[in-house]
A and B are shown apart, each in its own frame.
Chain A
């Protein structure tokens, strides 16, 4: 029977014929723990009688949410995880590599056809590599550490077909915001989203990661891009990546198909306080902002920083705006540094921070006060997400964030470029 990628992955990993709707106990190829949800997962592992983790080589650990430790509690949590890693023989990237999802991908810890879980809702990012990757809670993660498998209800797939060429300064973030607006915050709950079509085929890994990253903002269990030549080149960079070509069969059964054409797409902005409240940038242009954040697992890669630099040119940022630039990883930081982009940001007046989540989830530094407005390239604008519950968060692309940081008001990047 014709199968979707998701059905193929589960069939292969479980060694039997599996279809959407089946409930399976499936082995996992990778389990990611970070400093926020990891400590609780370790407690649960022990509560379930754990002694040795199922396979230390399959456990991925790093600290990014409150890194370096910004409080005594954070320091204690990280210490607990470091001890666990040592005892269990788990390689720990600790605080030095960057945001968990970027690091997991760029260290080649994901291969096409894998089932990967992580104690973080944006684990779905790894679908860009053609893997089935999904976010889970700490108790499920403790179970995985203990047994190496987990219950899954194999999801039906929504096929998102994207066509057309992006116009200048419009890109993957605008597309995924548009999709989120159309599909809605719970429009894909319990489903997987398969991103396909000519626009996705032309898109690099960075853009594909941006799209898969935000699948959860529509409630999806996973977002996936069918592995192709782009994935293959990416995979070949990592010795640990095993190439497997999992693509949906012609005639596979989908939950539904949605078509998007990006030809006429303009920069998109998610307005407070819902990610699916999405408008054209022109609808909110002129709104004054207090802080701009360029970074996160959604848009903190080299390509994003380069897009920002393309808009910035030799200008300076507005004196009324605090600009935080936080590369998603050490690798991406170095790429941008060597290209002279970091220097440009610093000259323009940005604070360039070491790779971490930064203000993205309001649990560390760079918070906004009551009544303040943040414009961010990250993925969530829930009330209080970046600090005060009386603050406001707008979301957009690196280009729009940069234009906004230059003028101090939400600005269409095509106007300043």
Chain B
């Protein structure tokens, strides 16, 4: 597992540039993730790698292609000090786990990271770093593995009045 470090305000144009948005397949999108701003990423990323970033990760465009590209690259989890709203929601919807960890700076390049969502912390090479709890309604979507499976678990058309 490798930790990919990014700074503050990483926008979704950087994660997947506009010219690749005609692609909808996560594996194909992954080939262009961070193209032009971090070319090593697409070349070297491997399944189970983790992104650790600063504030406002995923700001800008609502393109779901951004979390999809990361998921297609095998990224298991994105840890950031904070997330832009639409990216956070999109990640959960497509089954990529976003983790808000104000102390993300303490995570080292070679740390192995184990999340303990229920207890509210990340374990990074023996240290426990607190994480922000996921809102209840989003937890259900995470547990289902994304919004599509969640929606498919709901029966009946009364969903809008729940």
Contact = CB atoms under 8 A, between A and B. Distances in A.
Contact of B9 (A27, A146, A186): A186
Interface residues of A, number: 56
Given A137-B64, A140-B147, A149 B160 contact: yes
A260 interface: no
Given A25-B160, A219-B84, A385-B18, A143 B62 contact: no
B84 A186 contact: yes
A136 B13 contact: no
A339 interface: no
A140 B93 contact: yes
A123 B62 CA distance: 10
A121 B61 contact: yes
A47 B146 CA distance: 12
B136 A73 contact: no
A361 B14 CA distance: 12
B5 interface: no
B135 interface: yes
A136 B148 CA distance: 15
Nearest to B157: A147
B89 A39 contact: no
A138 interface: yes
A121 B89 CA distance: 13
B60 interface: yes
B22 A77 contact: yes
B18 A362 contact: yes
B17 interface: yes
Interface in B50-67: 55-56, 59-65, 67
Contacts of A139: 64, 90, 93-94, 146-148
A136 B89 contact: yes
A86 to B, nearest CB: 21
Interface residues of B, number: 45
B56 A147 contact: no
Contact of A382 (B60, B84, B89): B60
A412 to B, nearest CB: 28
A73 B159 CA distance: 35
A186 B82 contact: yes
A66 interface: yes
Contacts of B37: 383-384, 389
Contact of B89 (A49, A137, A380): A137
A20 interface: no
Contacts of B147: 44, 48, 139-140, 143
A142 B147 CA distance: 10
A36 interface: yes
Contact of A73 (B22, B84, B135, B161): B22
Contact of B13 (A147, A148, A361, A388): A361
Interface in B9-31: 9, 11, 13-14, 17-19, 21-24
Nearest to B81: A186
A205 interface: no
B86 A135 contact: yes
B135 A153 contact: yes
A384 B23 contact: no
A153 B138 CA distance: 10
Interface in A121-155: 121, 123, 135-140, 142-143, 146-149, 151, 153
B63 to A, nearest CB: 6
Given A48-B148, A147-B160, A119 B82 contact: no
B8 to A, nearest CB: 9
A219 B85 contact: yes
A340 to B, nearest CB: 34
A166 interface: no
Contacts of A25: 159-162
Given A383-B37, A384-B37, A385-B13, A23 B62 contact: no
A23 B135 contact: yes
Given A71-B22, A120-B61, A382-B14, 8 more contacts: A66-B22, A137-B94, A185-B56, A186-B9, A186-B56, A186-B84, A219-B56, A385-B18
User: Which 4 interchain pairs have the tightest Cβ spacing?
Assistant: A363-B18, A389-B36, A73-B22, A149-B160
Interface of A: 23, 25, 27, 36-37, 39-40, 43-44, 47-49, 65-66, 71, 73-74, 76-77, 119-121, 123, 135-140, 142-143, 146-149, 151, 153, 185-186, 189-190, 216, 219, 221, 274, 361-363, 380, 382-385, 388-390
Interface of B: 9, 11, 13-14, 17-19, 21-24, 35-37, 55-56, 59-65, 67, 82, 84-86, 89-90, 93-94, 135-137, 146-148, 151-152, 157, 159-162
21 contacts: A25-B159, A36-B21, A40-B65, A48-B147, A65-B18, A137-B63, A137-B67, A139-B146, A140-B93, A146-B151, A147-B157, A147-B160, A185-B56, A186-B55, A186-B56, A189-B84, A362-B17, A363-B19, A363-B21, A380-B11, A380-B60
